[in-house]
Amino acid sequence: MVSLRRIPGRAYLILAVIIFAAANAITRKLSDLGAQNAVAGRNPISFCNVLFVGNLVALIALVTLYGRELSPHTWRHLSWRDWGVVSLIALLSGALAPALFFMALEQTSVNTVVLLGRIEPPLTLALSVWFLRERVNGWVVVGALLAFVGVVLTIVLAPSSQQEMSMGMLSIGRGELMALGGAIAAAVATVISKAGLVQLPLGLFNIARTAIGTVIFLVAVVLLFQPSHFMDVFHPFLWRWMLLYGVIIVVGGQLAWTQGLRHSQAAEVSLASSFSPIAGVLAAYVVLGEVPTAAQYIGGVVILLGIALNHWGVSHAPAKAVSTVLAREMDHEIGFRGI
């Protein structure tokens, strides 16, 4: 029997990326399953229920993994500024981004959401260079620009939809617009995290963000809609599937990702993350039978080329171990996001 300690870090990273990439297709499958098993005409696996229960499952997993960082001594070092920054990040990446991604999954294909979500890395890079004055090499910049072009091609070449919205000379479907909105919210949250929470332990950051994001989402739904949106939140059918989701996606993915980060270099993390769109598209085909369209093929190829150039730039940068900041940049792959 092979010792777990002898498994290389990159193997854990690839396993984690595969698990998290499959979350998009599995979430859509669960929503369809809930619609087929309606309770008094209501889908028990609605987006409100899934996000709320999913965040609770993720919070339990995070506390289990990083419970040692919850000591009173650690909390006392958090200033009011730290709490304010974490709350803003929780609003953007813990409540707004997953809600937009989930609504996008209800209105457009999983492959579209996967590919459009790749606008987050180049946008994060652009914002980091602009606001944080970060220095990057030319290969990383070219790769980011190509990934952005691939996202644009995926939108422009897509067949027309009945739910399109005009933005100047460009028409974009509502699902695509929500996917872009979710990626933008996540990118802004990442930049804020890099600027304001560099010294905060990763585990403590994830626990605080998830907990605050759950509360923000709950309050927003109650105020903007009605408490009846959570009428089926304790239904056994919902919890049975969400616990299974939580064990495989949240807990299994978290463990693999954390173990991979501990034994990998920055270039290996970047390479493993590069497989995310491929794994997402394959998962959509295996789980849902969703075949990519011509626009998705063209845009996806350009995005993959951009990712390859980005990895080339990262691999030729000065070698260093994965840092907390890098871990947060990759955090869009971690935990339950409703996608």
pLDDT digits (tens, 9 = 90+) for 143-165: 888 888 988 888 888 776 545 55
| Half-sphere CA count of 300, side-chain side, radius 13 A | 21
**9-21 and 253-262 helices cross at what angle (nearest 10)?**
150
Q: Which of 122-126, 267-271, 286-290 has the highest mean pLDDT?
A: 286-290
The fraction of the chain above a pLDDT of 70, given in percent, is 84
CA distances from 82 to 85, 187, 192, 323 (A): 5, 19, 11, 19
pTM given for the model: 0.82
How far does Cα 4 stand from its chain's mean position? 27
Could you tell me if 67 and 74 are in contact, meaning their C-beta atoms sit under 8 angstroms apart?
A: no
Distance, CA of 221 to CA of 231 (rounded, Å)? 12
- The reported pLDDT for the residue numbered 333 is 42
Both structure tokens of 338: 């409703």
Contacts of 40 (CB under 8 A, 6+ apart): none
Contacts of 275 (CB under 8 A, 6+ apart): 14, 17, 18, 21
pLDDT digits (tens, 9 = 90+) for 293-309: 998 999 999 988 988 88
Both structure tokens of 7: 């498994």
The pLDDT of 43-51, averaged and rounded, is: 85
pLDDT digits (tens, 9 = 90+) for 183-212: 999 889 888 887 776 677 777 888 888 889
SS3 38: coil
In this structure, the chain runs to a length of: 339
The residue ranges of every structural domain in the chain are: 6-333
Distance, CA of 83 to CA of 155 (rounded, Å)? 38
Confidence of residue 21 (pLDDT cuts 50, 70, 90): confident
CB atoms within 10 A of CB 171: 15
Q: State residue 39 phi and psi, 5-degree precision.
A: -110, 110
Extended strands (E) in 126-201: 164-167, 170-173
Q: Which contiguous run of DSSP H or E holds residue 5? A: none
- The reported pLDDT for the residue numbered 301 is 92
